[in-house]
Amino acid sequence: MVRARAAAENVAHCVLPAVQVKDFERVRTLAHEFGDSYALGIHPLYVKQAQDDDLARLDAALTAQRDEPRLVAVGEIGLDYFVPELLASPLRERQEFFYVEQLKLARQHGLPVILHVRRSADMLLKGLRAIGNGTPWQGIAHAFNGSAQQAQAFITFGLKLGFGGALTYERAENLRRLATTLPLEAIVLETDAPDMPPHWLYQTAEARAAGAPQGRNEPGELPRIAQVLAGLRGLDAETLAVATTRNAMAALPRLQALLAS
């Protein structure tokens, strides 16, 4: 299965983010079963079906699991301005509400954040500025694909930027430039599995129309994605792995104890 294949590829640890309250118990159970970690949050793609009192349930879960070493962040939270329905009222305001309220919860519970950024970097930064009130953040802006200026703004707030399968495409010039030129200490690796398939798993619309299923991304792809990034940066894969693991522990401090044991 997926986790065993990841282990066979030397992926020692996975962070499993929740996307809705319904998943909270499941990500926690899975993290315990496999020695991984998890995050609790309401994802912007799930705000449509979320209830207002889901925020109270998140708050309650964060309180109940306060001493849980495997709970490493509030996430995934954020804003998605790519999906047309979410960009328009009322879901646009709805996801902004959930984002800001969850930033507050992360602050109250002293936890890092894992942010979903999709054409929404400026608005996310605005929330970090408003709720952070001049104090730094911890966490990851995952699947980042914005401008160099926006990248720098997230870094200045204290966040790391997550890169994954999208950078394996030669045509992803902006993303490759960013992943190559940003300071090494600002970068973490991710798969975003089952999404963001690297190019070797990707099936074109044509191939899919002919019956080929879209390739499913898995955590076990991480070493190959890392090799691509190492090649772009002119590093050996080991150096990149050591650096990005260190960065992940800085972004999600509870990982330190989990990775040491």
Q: Which residues bind Zn ion (CB under 5 A)?
A: 116
Give a three-class secondary structure readout of 168-205: HCCCCHHHHHHHHHCCHHHEEECCCCCCCCCCCCCCCH
Q: Token digits for 110?
A: 């002293």
Of 230 and 252, the one with the shorter C-beta distance to Zn ion is 252
Q: What angle do CA 154, 155, 160 make, to 5 degrees?
A: 90
Residue closer to Zn ion (CB basis): 21 or 115 = 115
Degrees to nearest 5, angle at CA 160 with 93 and 149 = 70
Least distance to Zn ion from the beta carbon of 231, Å? 25
In the complex, what is the shortest distance from the CB of residue 46 to Zn ion, in angstroms, rounded to a whole number?
11
Judged by CB, which is closer to Zn ion: 116, or 176? Answer: 116
Smallest distance, Å, CB 15 to Zn ion? 12
**Residue 27 to residue 36: CA distance in whole angstroms:** 10
Question: Measured at CB, which residue is nearest to Zn ion?
Answer: 116
Nearest to 60 by CA among 15, 112, 130, 108: 108
Residue 70: closest CA among 104, 30, 98:
30
Type of residue numbered 43: H
Q: Whose Cβ is closer to Zn ion: residue 48's or residue 66's?
A: 48
Q: In angstroms, what is the minimal distance from the CB of 114 to Zn ion?
A: 8
Q: Shortest Cβ distance from residue 96 to Zn ion (Å)?
A: 16
Q: Which is nearer to Zn ion, 120 or 244 (CB)?
A: 120
The amino acid at 109: H
